[in-house]
Structure 1
Amino acid sequence: MDDSERLARFEAVLAALLAEQESVCATLEGLRAQGKTRTATYQQLTARKLALKSMLGAFEEQGLL
């Protein structure tokens, strides 16, 4: 695998993480609007949001975002 292919794969993963973060935040907002903040789904999505934030934080620290 050459450097350009590795970079393309890296960028695809980063784009997927950003898209998932946007989706999770939108879903959480919808659940909040419905008053469903105590559901298991809401709690699981909150945990996923924090995990994504942590992963993307590493990219941001390196100046990649």
Structure 2
Amino acid sequence: MNDGERLARFEAALAALAEERESVIATLDDLRAHGKTRTATYQQLAARKLVLKAALAPFEEAGLL
């Protein structure tokens, strides 16, 4: 694998994480709007949001997102 392919894979993985974060946030907003903040789904998504935030934080600090 050359550097260009490796960079493309990295950028695709990073974009997928950022896209998942946006999807989770949208779903949480929808659940919140329907008053379902005490459901297991909401709690699991809230935890996933925190994991994604922590995973993406170094990239945001470096200006890559």
- Computed over aligned residues only, the root mean square deviation of the Cα atoms, in angstroms, reads 0.8
Structure-1 residue corresponding to 2:54: 54
The one-letter amino acid paired with 2:11 is E
**1:28 counterpart = 2:28:** yes
Deviations 1:9-64 (A, max 9, x none): 00000110111011000000000001000000000000000000001102122332
* Alignment partner, residue 17 of structure 1: 17
Question: Greater shift after overlay, 13-22 or 55-64?
Answer: 55-64
Gaps of 5+ in 2: none
Stretches of structure 1 lacking an aligned partner (at least 5 in a row): none
Secondary structure of residue in 2 paired with 1:28: helix
Secondary structure, in 3 states, of the residue corresponding to 2:6? helix
Q: What is the percent sequence identity of the aligned residues?
A: 74
* CA distance in structure 1 between the partners assigned to 2:55 and 2:48 by the alignment: 11
Match of 2:44 in 1: 44
Q: If the length of structure 1 is used for normalisation, what is the TM-score? A: 0.94
Question: Equivalents in 2 of 1:63, 1:2: separation in Å?
Answer: 24
4+ runs of 1 displaced by more than 2 Å? none
